Amino acid sequence: MKNLFTVDFANNTIIASKTTLKKAGVPNSVEYKALMNLMKQNPTFQIAEKEIKKAESKKTYGGLTKALR
C-alpha cells in the first residue's frame, strides 16, 4: 500500500494531496479509513493540503521543433 498521508509531529498536522483528501471525503473508501485511523491516533492534529512547488524556470516548450512562419 502506498503512503497516502504524511504525519508532521513537529507542527501537529496530517498532510495529504488534494486528490487524496477528495477521495477521503467518500465514506468507506480506503483513504477515508486511513484518515480516520490517523485522526483516532492523533486527535489534536489538524489536516492540511500538501503544497505543490511549481518550478518557475521550467521551459515546457523546450522540445518543439516546428519552425515558425
Per residue in 2-37, pLDDT (tens digit) is 788 999 999 999 999 999 999 999 999 999 999 999
How many Cα atoms within 13 Å fall on the side-chain side of residue 31?
Answer: 16
Which pairs count as long-range contacts for 48-56, CB under 8 Å and 24+ apart, including other chains? 48/13, 48/14, 48/15, 48/16, 49/15, 49/16, 49/17, 49/18, 49/21, 50/6, 50/15, 50/16, 50/17, 50/18
Grid-cell match 486527535, residue found: 43
What is the pTM assigned to this prediction?
A: 0.73
The predicted pLDDT at position 11 comes to 95
Non-local CB neighbours of 25 within 8 Å, separated by 6+ positions: 32
Q: What is the mean pLDDT of residues 48-62?
A: 84
